Structure 1
Amino acid sequence: MDQDYKTILKRFKDEVTSENPLSKAEQELTIISALTVLQANDDLKEHFSIALNTVSVDLIREVVYQLSPAVGSSKVKNALRILNTVTKKDGQHFAIPEDAYKAGLEFQEPLYGNEIKDLMADLPANAGKLLPEWLTKNFFGDYYTRGALPVKDRERYLLAALITMNVDFQIKAHALGSLRAGNTESELIWTALTLLPYIGFPLVINSVQKIHQANE
């Protein structure tokens, strides 16, 4: 890396970190969520190593696993491949719920109600039934039922990934869901600000506005 750029970047990263009220572990898991989206392999390896100084590999794996319904399996598999070059320890195993739909609804309804089901209701060819059903089963039933990561934290790290993807509708929805899960506006805004050195000011400023509107 060019020395001048390296110096500028380090100074900015250090400033964002020093002013950040989130814990060091929370900052690292937020960054890992964004880097998984970006598939920034060198940065992922660096931040996996840093995170392992403050959190367990089980927690790191859980943060990465849960991104799959939002960012896709290829990006998650890429991140896990990088993680496995840093540590060979397998993740904690959990029982898969027998009724993933019912189990998922228990997490989805308090945060999002029937929003997606109602939004997709008039889609043709059975898509209006299957798409929200699969979302409930996979997004919530397969991942939120795993006990390694509290729902409050799941929502916050997921929001970091959505901010990185710049998906406006989902940022608005999950900012509100994150607040309902127990996060404060300050925690969510600092989740966005933590990402500044990695995704830049335009995406962060846009997302901070959406978070602030969700809290009004």
Structure 2
Amino acid sequence: MMITKAAEAYHEKMFPDYQSSFLETDPEFITLFDNFAFDTVINQADFDNKTRMQVILAVLIGCQSLAEYKAMLPAALNFGVSPIVVKEIIYQAVAYLGIGRVYPFLIATNDILTEKGIALPLANQATVTEKTRLSDGEAAQIAIFGEEMKGFAQSGPKLSRHINQWLTENCFGDYYTRTGLDLKQRELLTACFLLAQGGCEPQLIAHFKANIRLGNDPEFLVTMISQCIPYIGYPRSLNALRCLTEAEMNE
């Protein structure tokens, strides 16, 4: 077997003039991987390169693959993913993975952007104030999940009600209201964080429902999951498909 012309061409777009050391150490493996990831998968369905690269970055954060993230971030930039979008992916990941798992990716992102001559910090993307983050967060929840989210911050058992408030004002108020990504894009990336880390099936089902409600239809979501397979493997991808089926049935 040889690396296909289509895989070679896509690899060249991602990494101009770069020759992988795996061609010397693991030629059989790199042929199998490149032909699958950069020919079969990308040609499975129509999926624009910017969205594909955003999805890949999100699932790499979700599955904690720092080395592959460092390799793929320059490719994402080469395909036109803006530094602001990259940073928004990183920031929103904190709400779904926690700073303990996202911190190394933030450091790596800053290092790569700096190496490429991109001045930091980037332009401010915040739209809320301390006084509006709760109400604006609730507005985002309602826009994503529906009117049943009205009053969510004040709901639930008294002992843990503060966590519902934090979800509204922090997860949705602080992050979802930022510019750089719209709600439809943010929900897609949230699904990526959840499916890649695993063990979040109830939340993934809820966010697949939200994706469908916002216009990321099931066919599009199946294509998104398909793009993830080379990076997160089959078990978590198949789990994601099962969650999507359940979301469709209960939507």
TM-score (norm 2): 0.78
Q: State the 1:115 CA deviation.
A: 9.5
Task: Supply the distance in 1 between the matched residues of 2:112 and 2:42 (Cα, whole angstroms).
Answer: 23
C-alpha distance in structure 2 between counterparts of 1:141 and 1:207, whole Å: 27
What is the one-letter code of the residue matched to 1:45? K
CA–CA distance in structure 2, aligned partners of residues 178 and 117 of structure 1: 20
**1:83 correspondence with 2:98:** no
Deviates most, 60-69 or 3-12: 3-12
- Provide the C-alpha distance between the structure 2 equivalents of 1:116 and 1:71, rounded to a whole number of angstroms: 25
Q: For 1:82-118, what per-residue CA distance to the aligned partner results, in whole angstroms no more than 9, with x for missing partners?
A: 1122212322213442321111000102323339949
CA contact (8 A) 2:84 2:180 kept: yes
1:157 equivalent in structure 2: 189
Separation in structure 2 between the aligned mates of residue 168 and residue 140 of structure 1, nearest angstrom: 20
- Equivalent residue for 2:213, pick from 180, 204, 208: 180
Q: Could you tell me which residue of structure 1 aligns to residue 143 of structure 2?
A: 110
Pair 193,184 (structure 1): closer, same or farther in 2 beyond 3 Å: same
Alpha-carbon shift at residue 3 of structure 1 (Å): 2.7
Q: What is residue 156 of structure 2 aligned with on the other side?
A: 121
Contact 2:62/2:192 (8 A) holds in 1:
no
Match of residue 4, structure 1, among 20, 23, 28: 28
Confirm whether residue 17 of structure 1 aligns to residue 42 of structure 2: yes
CA distance in 2, matches of 1:3, 1:138: 47
Contiguous gaps of at least 5 residues in structure 1: none
Structure 1 equivalent of residue 229 of structure 2: 196
Matched letter for residue 63 of structure 1: I
Q: What corresponds to 1:137 in structure 2?
A: 169
CA distance in 1, matches of 2:232, 2:106: 21
2: CA distance, partners of 1:141 / 1:34: 23
Over residues 36-75 of structure 1, what are the superposed CA-to-partner deviations in whole Å (9 max), with x where a residue is unaligned?
1223222111111011112211111111211111011122
Structure 1 residues 11 and 140, CA gap change in structure 2 (3 angstroms): same
Match of 2:124, SS state, is coil
3-state DSSP of counterpart to 2:42: helix
Tell me the distance in 2 between the aligned counterparts of 1:169 and 1:193.
21
Gaps of 5+ in 2: 1-21
In the alignment, structure 1 residue 50 sits paired with structure 2 residue 75: yes
More relative contact order in 1 or in 2 (CA 8 Å, sep 6+)? 1
Query: Number of residues paired by the alignment?
Result: 212
In the alignment, the residues of structure 2 paired with residue 115 and residue 165 of structure 1 have an alpha-carbon distance, to the nearest angstrom, of 29
Structure number with greater Rg is 2
Q: For the residues of structure 2 that align with 1:208 and 1:135, how far apart are their CA atoms?
A: 26
CA–CA separation in structure 2 for the residues paired with 1:111 and 1:171: 14
Q: What secondary structure does 2:194 align onto? A: helix
Confirm or deny: 8 A CA contact 1:97 1:141 kept in the other structure.
Answer: no
Provide Cα deviations, 1:139-159, integer angstroms capped at 9, x if missing partner: 100011111101001000110
TM-score (norm 1): 0.90
Distance 1:186 1:97, change over 3 A: farther
Instruction: Please name the residue that 2:86 is paired with.
Output: 60
> SS at 1:149's partner residue?
coil
